[in-house]
Structure 1
Amino acid sequence: MIFFHGHKFINKNGKYYTSGSLNNGVFQRYLHWFGEVTVFANERSATKEHAKLINNNNEVTNVNLDLINTKVNLRNFITVIRKVKKAVYNHDYIVVRMPSFYGILAVRFARKMDKKYLVEVVGCPWDAFWNHSLKGKIIAPFMWIFTRKTLKDAPYAVYVTNEFLQSRYPTKGKSIGCSDVVLPRLEKGTLEKRIEKINLVEKGKPIIIGTTAAVNVRYKGQEYVIKAVSNLNKEGHNFEYHLAGGGDNQYLKSVAKEYGVEDKVFFLGALPHDKVFEYLDNIDIYIQPSKQEGLPRALVEAMSRGCPSLGSNTGGIPELLNKDFIFKNGAVDEICELLKKMDEKMMLSEAKRSFKKAKEFDKEFLDSKRTNFYKGFVDNVKTV
């Protein structure tokens, strides 16, 4: 099988690492279904920012990597097309993860070669590009059209949402909604600890809001929370905002300074994954203010720690949350009103709801659902 995606693998001294969700745990699934797996994606050299994240846990060791240097990618467009075509020709099973330029090309060649393929849809290209930059706004309509075309006649499609992505990029083929979020087993006592934390909140102490997301990506929306914290604290409330995530934080720092909350906004940097849950246990409320998402892993992880949660009306976020705690993306006033509603009684109720919802992302349940679907794809290709 060959897997196409625009993921950037990090090259450090000839070894490859992932800073994202495409890790050995995910590839182990594909190895179970297909035996031998090649990943067609991008590579980049390690930077200082990667240094503390790169360790043995995110080294990619058990798949073949067919990588394109991101600097070469745009310069040698024809070479890339030829390489994708050859890769499709040399493999029996084609799996693409969208949004992805490589995925669009791979599906095009798979159709010409009459090869069965499966499409995984993990995000909305329209939202991703439109909210990225001016250049992104130019690209967004084309990616939307090509992604819809790619999905329309796909014989097999896996969506990470249950409704949102299916409505934007429908398929006439077989499909399932199955999140790619892999949670560790929900720890016994987690909810009880959260309830105890809420009950012990002292008057006068700040309520800590948290978001886990890159701080150099504007469409993650942290600026709106910073503005909301400023407005609320001017009214006499006491909120802090703790941001976990890598990237250049200068823009968000400038927003905090402009709105007079430099002492209330804390940048924790990129956290190793084993430290993320410790961070989540220390915050009081989790917020996902994104302007584009598929089904956000960070929000599901927060809910698995019993965090009372709220988020924007973007992507699959509303599928996870209480409808009373969803705000229009970018709506600072709505964020303020929802945070005001989060009194002790409401936090207790939402903590229980979050933890219960997170149980739907039990690894064994999702693996079984996914395995049955992929088995159908594999068996179908074998009979062709």
Structure 2
Amino acid sequence: MKKLAFIHDHEFVINGKDAYSPGKLSTSSFDRYLSIFDHVTIVSRYRLKANGDTLATLNKVTDSRIDFQRFENQSKFINRFVLRSKYKKKLREILKHFDALVIRVPSEIGFLASEIALELKIPYVCEVVACPSDAMDGFNSIKSRLYKKIIVQSMKKTVLFSSGALYVTRYFLQERYPTKGFTCIASNVEINELGRCREYSQKSVYRIVLTGNLDSFHKGYDILFLALEELTKKLSFNIELHLVGKGSIFKRAINYTNINIHYPGVLGRTDLFDLLDSSDLYIQPSNQEGLPRATIEAMSRGLPCVVSDAGGLPELVDPKFVHPKNSPNELANKILNILTSKGDFELASINNIEVAKQFLTKDLRARRLDFYQKLRDLC
């Protein structure tokens, strides 16, 4: 029996013997590994279920072939720098029983695991999903500026010496974090069908959508609210803005006569796609990204998109619909232009459908299976 460890910094909610994800990970997320390996153990951060946790809103990620190994948060200063040898010894005892590792990076537990894997000669691959350099820039604090060099060097070393690396971008992450091993390009998005190309029509109210964690400082909500201040002065129509996702830090009561904001919370896939299909524009003003699945999902519905130049976002859309990150004025102008230009609106819709075809599940699944089979062949 071939056993795989999946290593990440995702924080799972533990209830007895079961693990739940408050994010997008679910049991089906691990099908790609279980198609190749016999058993998967998740090694990740955790917290115990609290009274405020409603398990029905979380994704259970344990079954007969998946179990969970709790590990302490290695992003804490004392764990990362003072007690590192202690946690390295503990993690070595866990990992020595596995045939191979999948490390989703950036991840401090993952960086530590890669050191152990190299010492024990356990083959591992990296799933490279984001750039920690951009993440630290997004926090814009003294602590993040000091930590940036350390985390970037750890990331580069982990990916460089991996047996292989799966990248969610086509160019961006590959250029920053190359590997000596085999490679694969495959986003985490799951697109089973495409929507229709949109025809432009003048409206009195346009609906705009952004999906993301409202507690995240990387999704560009601060820039969006500054852009709204500019937009409200220029609009000849109304905007209905839907900010979809969990969290509360960036929930703000905005009182504009021509802009209304809705916070529908976390939506299931059907409800989310219904909202996208009834909307006119999707925006992604992030300051840090890999290749966000939310944007690709919106593109797959033929929805025009205005995005920042963070991470792999410029790989997805026409340059005329890309604004510099942390630039509220440019974001406001791009939004206004695409909602008042028939040519740009319809061009964006057509282009987005064409790009989304590259992310159909059946094609990505074949690439992923080939990638993980190469890992198993090394065991």
- Same fold? TM cut 0.5: yes
SS of residue matched to 1:219: coil
Which letter does structure 1 place at the counterpart of 2:43?
A: F
- Runs of 4+ in structure 1 deviating by more than 4 angstroms, as ranges, are 47-50, 69-76, 260-263
Say whether 1:240 aligns with 2:240: yes
Residue of structure 2 in register with 1:60 after alignment: 62
User: Using the alignment, how far apart are the partners of 2:334 and 2:93 within structure 1?
Assistant: 53
Residue of structure 2 in register with 1:86 after alignment: 93
Which letter does structure 1 place at the counterpart of 2:180?
A: K
- Superposition map of 1:201-220 within 5 A: 201-202=202-203, 205-220=204-219
Say whether 1:283 aligns with 2:288: no
SS of residue matched to 1:310: strand
State which of 18, 29, 33 in structure 2 corresponds to 1:30.
Answer: 33
- Contact 1:230 1:261 (8 Å CA) reproduced: no
> What's the offset of the Cα at 1:10?
1.5
Residue of structure 2 in register with 1:329 after alignment: 325
Report the identity percentage: 29
- Contact 1:229 1:241 (8 Å CA) reproduced: no
Say whether 1:157 aligns with 2:165: yes
Residue of structure 1 in register with 2:196 after alignment: 191
- Contact 2:165 2:184 (8 Å CA) reproduced: yes
Say whether 1:320 aligns with 2:316: yes
> What's the offset of the Cα at 1:286?
0.4
Give CA deviations for 1:250-283 in whole Å, capped at 9, x if unaligned: x4516x46xx579522222222333221221232
Q: Which has the higher helix share?
A: 1
Q: Residues 49 and 295 of structure 1: is their aligned pair in 2 closer, same or farther, counting only changes over 3 Å? A: farther
User: Using the alignment, how far apart are the partners of 1:278 and 1:46 within structure 2?
Assistant: 32
SS of residue matched to 1:350: helix
Residue of structure 2 in register with 1:51 after alignment: 54
User: Using the alignment, how far apart are the partners of 1:137 and 1:145 within structure 2?
Assistant: 13
Give CA deviations for 1:33-85 in whole Å, capped at 9, x if unaligned: 11111110111234577528625x64432401101355997766454322211
Residue of structure 1 in register with 2:123 after alignment: 116
SS of residue matched to 2:113: helix
Output the TM-score relative to the length of structure 1: 0.88
Say whether 1:294 aligns with 2:290: yes
Q: Residues 290 and 176 of structure 1: is their aligned pair in 2 closer, same or farther, counting only changes over 3 Å? A: same
Q: Residues 72 and 150 of structure 1: is their aligned pair in 2 closer, same or farther, counting only changes over 3 Å? A: closer
For these two proteins, the number of residue pairs brought into alignment is 367
Which letter does structure 1 place at the counterpart of 2:104?
A: R
Which letter does structure 1 place at the counterpart of 2:62?
A: V
The farther-off stretch of 321-330 and 44-53 is 44-53
Give CA deviations for 1:308-347 in whole Å, capped at 9, x if unaligned: 0010111010111111111100111211221232123322
The farther-off stretch of 369-378 and 285-294 is 369-378
Residue ranges of structure 2 left out of the alignment (5+ in a row): none
Which letter does structure 2 place at the counterpart of 1:89?
A: K
Residue of structure 1 in register with 2:138 after alignment: 131
- Contact 1:118 1:156 (8 Å CA) reproduced: yes
> What's the offset of the Cα at 1:3?
1.3
> What's the offset of the Cα at 1:209?
1.7
Say whether 1:373 aligns with 2:375: no
Residue of structure 1 in register with 2:264 after alignment: 268
Residue of structure 2 in register with 1:17 after alignment: 20
State which of 324, 331, 354 in structure 2 corresponds to 1:356.
Answer: 354
Which letter does structure 2 place at the counterpart of 1:329?
A: K
The farther-off stretch of 168-177 and 9-18 is 9-18
Q: CA RMSD in A?
A: 2.5
